[in-house]
Structures are given as structure tokens and as C-alpha cells.
Amino acid sequence: MPRGDGTGPAGAGAGTGMGRGRGGQGQGRMGGNKAGAGPSGYCVCPKCGERVPHRVGTPCYEMKCPKCGAKMARE
């Protein structure tokens, strides 16, 4: 990478660029996966119909509706 350019004002630029690049890649991948699981990644309350994003590793029936406190079900 352009280490030489990282001495002057370009240093901030390079640093920012790297940071953004890394973050962008990581978030892009993770976000993509999570976004892909979006449609099926929701739990729905059978009582009031409230929908909440499903947390990986936590079954919907172990989640409680934030509105009425009922057990959530998989959408």
C-alpha cells in the first residue's frame, strides 16, 4: 500500500481510506448476509402481530413481544 504517501495530508486520507475499505468490506459482507436473512429473519407476535428482527441463536419462541409480552413465533 502507499506508505510513502502516508506522511503528509495523504496520511489521513490513506488512513481513512483503509478504514473505510476495511469497514466497508466487513460490513458489506456481514450486512449482506444479515440483509439476506431479513425476510425470514423476523419473529412475529401471534397476538398483536408485532414483528421484531430475529436474533440468530435465539429461537423466536424464546423471545417476547415488546408490546404485549407474548411469545413470538417464527414468521
Q: Which residues bind Zn ion (CB under 5 A)?
A: 45, 47-48, 50, 65, 67-68, 70
CB 54 within 8 A of CB 74: yes
CB of 72 to Zn ion, least distance (A): 8
Q: How far is the CB of 37 from Zn ion (least distance, A)?
A: 22
What distances in angstroms separate CA 10 from CA 4, 22, 59, one per listed residue? 9, 18, 48
CB nearer Zn ion, residue 10 or residue 48: 48
Q: Which amino acid, one-letter code, is at 9?
A: P
**Residue 43 Cβ vs Zn ion, minimum distance, rounded to whole Å:** 10
